[in-house]
Copies of this chain bind each other. A is one copy, B any other.
Amino acid sequence: MKIIIYVYDGMTMLDAIGPYEVLRNMTDAEVLFVAEEKGEIKADSGFIDINVKYNINDINQADILVIPGSSIAFMKEIENENVLNWIREVDKSTKWTTSVCTGSIILASAGLLSGLKATSHWKPINLLSQFNAIPTRERVVEQDKFITAAGVSAGIDMAIYLSNKIVGEIETRAIQLTIEYDPQPMFNDGNYLSADDEVIKLADKKLIREAKKELGLLGMLKNSKNILKILK
């Protein structure tokens, strides 16, 4: 079972590591982290880099493709034709093509989610409609062979859902026990639809501050159309 996780500068680490930690526990799983160019790939935080051994010219087929999201770097990826072409190519070979967080916006920009329901991080989810996908506020959305997950931590739920399809219930339950996934969220604010307004406003502020930090003034201007759509 060959699993490609596409990684890129500015991605959100947990988006990749959540699904990886579930899927790599499937018997016979082989996980390959693949970037446009191999070497150091920096997370959005600036605090951690991973070391990537494969570039997109090395590998173009997989059973499962996972596209993680990012705070803001996905905006660069949705215009990167080199990567989008590779995603389309890999997708031809996959049994499942999946995403976490804003990874779905990358899949959609590759034209793979046209006319399909998809989910994404609660903040930029409406950008999906720009690429003819149908934004759907659920944690995990399955449509044909595409499985998209909501923001960041939702990748764990997506991968368990996918593992259940591939290796069945008993092995998936054993994986859930192996990673001791018995979540006990402290608050009820993990979901946009049930979070308090005050909490949403503060999370909004955090996300906008992060976008400003990463894009700078020039980047904010360049991406102003999309940013305005996200802010709506």
Which residues of chain A have a CB within 8 Å of any CB of chain B? 12-14, 17-18, 20-21, 24-25, 30-33, 40, 45, 47-51, 53, 101, 121-122, 139-140, 150-154, 156-157, 160-161, 164, 169-187, 189-192, 194-196, 198-200, 202-203, 205-207
Residues of B within 8 A of A207 (CB): 178
A26 CB, nearest partner CB in chain B, Å? 10
* Given A153-B180, A174-B203, 7 other A-B residues pairs in contact with their CB atoms under 8 A: A14-B20, A20-B45, A25-B206, A140-B184, A153-B183, A174-B202, A177-B191
A21: nearest chain-B partner, CB-CB: B14
Sample 11 A-B pairs with CB under 8 A, ordered by A number: A13-B20, A21-B152, A32-B47, A121-B180, A151-B178, A154-B180, A172-B186, A173-B199, A174-B202, A177-B190, A181-B185
Tell whether, in the assembled complex, residue B21 and residue A139 are in contact, meaning their CB atoms are under 8 Å apart: no
